[in-house]
Amino acid sequence: MGLLANPRRTTANYRAYERKHLDRLRFIRRCRNLGFTLEQVRDLLRLSSDEQQDCAEVDRIAAQHLAAVERKIGDLKRLASELQRISNLCQGGGLTADCRIIEALSPDSK
């Protein structure tokens, strides 16, 4: 994916990772765990390689990601609310043919 430079090889042809490789891998993993896209990670890595660069672009990437996270949180809250609503419809112990949750999830339900 081009996010990590190829490490040198030992005489036995093993990859010899250095501390800088591990630090970069940890940075990539942290970004991915926080939901940044590969393109955003690539941009953040590029920007982090120049310590004298203005961080406005980093701020822009972070703000863009924050907006996406906030949209997802809103979607998840609406989903949780809907699941709570339809779960309250279920009395349990019945047949799935009569299940109000299945009914509410069906495309024909209103």
Domain segments of the chain as ranges: 1-53, 54-110
Q: What tens digit of pLDDT does each residue of 62-79 get?
A: 999 999 999 999 999 999
pTM of the entire structure? 0.70
What kind of fold does domain 1-53 have according to CATH? Answer: Multidrug-efflux Transporter Regulator; Chain: A; Domain 2 (1.10.1660)
Q: What tens digit of pLDDT does each residue of 20-42 get?
A: 989 999 999 999 999 999 999 99
For residues 9 and 16, the answer to whether their CB atoms sit within 8 Å is yes
For residues 45 and 30, the answer to whether their CB atoms sit within 8 Å is no
Residue linked to tokens 């890595």: 45
